[in-house]
Structure 1
């Protein structure tokens, strides 16, 4: 019991550290040094515990339309900046952490072979859609957003949920709801005249002239 409590406390501290690193990377500055500092906190923790880092994917996906803006001409970044959806950064680093223990991940995935056929059909449908698309650039982007990244997340979720059980599912759902609640709160406050969106991120979307 004492060991379980210590493990729970350690996991909580790691989750806090991961969140702090993401917060610094996302909001401390639009320039590279502080962004890199935040990622320097998040990345080693995520590589060590990708099962915990994965929780920040559903949390941050609600901020999809407010990506991280990076502007720093000192490091060769173009004047218009670059924009990085936070959940993609989290997913990429988490997948790298999972890849360090790929043998165990493959063993777990073999035990859930019932999910293979529908997953493979989904992947093939997405690939076929890309192959027959008239414009490959937008099609490749959609393939990444709607097929490849969801499949990576789904695979990682299967691996870590098999080890973590019901408690892991509750944690993932809790983070997902918390991220949605945060985005919803910003929207509600905007309706009441208080715009917090600039404090969270840069909204990315089409202007009216491009619709």
Structure 2
């Protein structure tokens, strides 16, 4: 596989939760395991030395037991959680060192995220919720509504544009979240148990 085929590359990523992650990282370097670190410091090793790449067009699944770090890993990709060590590249560009402004631009233009909790705004219609990311990105109203309607059709919610979240089932609300991510036509779509209510 050439590096040009890689859309996402994760290299030696660690995430340690606690007030002094560097101390825990030093213990890891000396061979301590996560249980020992927790018992001695109270720090939690959420992700331990993860490395992998995802090719363009590939569906990549992270599986594990509850509490194993799946959601943490997904949030490291878009830096909703900051890594303690390691690097993440999107389309060959390292995103772990980006400024807040540059990261915001990457999130708006290149990444879509579907959360386990639907994260819908209750005061906005289905169409408005779906178009919200496009509105934030400055897309003109006519174009964002066109793209939102197309995404709603893709997830089987055509005809529900003027409904409000409380009028929808849990599965339908989750599909609105998916439509919102699809409307932006992201380079990469991140999903955290996105189909749990379907």
Q: TM-score, length-normalised on structure 1?
A: 0.30
Greater helix share, 1 or 2? 1
Greater strand share, 1 or 2? 2
Q: TM-score, length-normalised on structure 2?
A: 0.31
